[in-house]
Amino acid sequence: MAAVKVSKMRKTYLMRFVFRCLVLVALILLCICRPQTAEIIQGTALFAEFHPAHLFLYFLWGVWMFDMLFQIVPGKRLFAMGSQKVFRRNYSPCQSCPDIDHKALRKRYTKEGLKVWCFWGPLTLAFALVWFLWLKPMEAYWFPLLFAGVFYVCDLICVLFWCPFRVWMMKNRCCTTCRIFNWDHFMMFTPFLFVPGVYTWSLAGLATVIYIIWEIQVYTHPERFSDAYNQTLKCKNCADRLCGRF
């Protein structure tokens, strides 16, 4: 039996998955071995006292900012089409398709977005309650970092292996047609909104900008997100093959 060929993009995302797992392990080890490291995420502590252990959190900040900046720049090499379909250059109109029903598409995508928010909203509120009512200061600084680290890994589990948002809420075919593909960093850094600081609010701020840009495009150009109207998103034209199917 011939071996199944793994696409270049899936290999890239698998390597990213391994990297993210290592990041999560490093965060857990830092939390256990040097818990005071997380203090730099508060206020202007990012520019205050320096310790070699802080280098990892500086590095992580840079990686996260780099990832987000490249989500708002058109390109096919670093990110999958699920992320890049927001751009006009990746829209290939279907010549044989009926006229675009923008109203129906907006209604569909609004419904799908609300389903996800009905899950994510209460989870965010639960985080806020735990943060303000029960955590001690040192634990409070690690809580959003570890939350982000766990979601950092879970994000690619959804992309590469199995996604509850796709299966239970949106019922979309795959990540290429995912309604919320670029919500990843916004969902990851939502807890940072509760931690005033240069480190936290710079990440949460850029993630919010990306989320807003995405939602504006969903409303103004919903046809770019639908494989019924955008030929680029059809399975037969997919080069990413993040689903692992050949």
Amino acid 35: pLDDT: 87
The mean predicted confidence, pLDDT, of the chain is: 89
Confidence of residue 225 (pLDDT cuts 50, 70, 90): very high
Of 166, 72, 244, 222, nearest to 233 (Cα)? Answer: 222
> What's the confidence (pLDDT) of residue 213?
96
43 phi, psi to nearest 5 deg: 50, -130
Q: What does the pLDDT look like over 47-75, one tens digit per residue? A: 666 778 789 999 999 999 999 998 888 87
- Tokens standing for 151? 């979601």
Average pLDDT over residues 26-46: 85
* Average pLDDT, integer, range 95-100: 80
Residue 165 has pLDDT above 60, yes or no: yes
Distance of CA 18 to the CA centre of its chain: 16
Where does the pLDDT of residue 196 fall: very low under 50, low under 70, confident under 90, or very high at 90 and above?
A: confident
C-alpha span between 70 and 88 (Å, rounded): 16
At residue 107, what is the residue type?
K
The pTM of this model reads 0.92
Stretch 156-170: mean pLDDT, rounded? Answer: 95
pLDDT at 27 over 90: yes
The pLDDT of residue 98 is above 90: no
pLDDT value of residue 47: 65
Cα angle value 65/71/72 (rounded, 5°): 100
Mapping DSSP to helix (H, G, I), strand (E, B) and coil, where does residue 7 land? coil
* Of 242, 219, 244, 239, residue with least CA distance to 86: 219
Query: For position 1, what pLDDT does the model report?
Result: 41
Give the model's pLDDT for residue 211: 97
Nearest Cα residue to 203 out of 194, 193, 212, 213:
193
Q: Which residue has the higher pLDDT, 184 or 2?
A: 184
| Number of Cβ within a 10 Å radius of residue 50 | 11
| Residue 2 pLDDT class (50, 70, 90 cuts) | very low
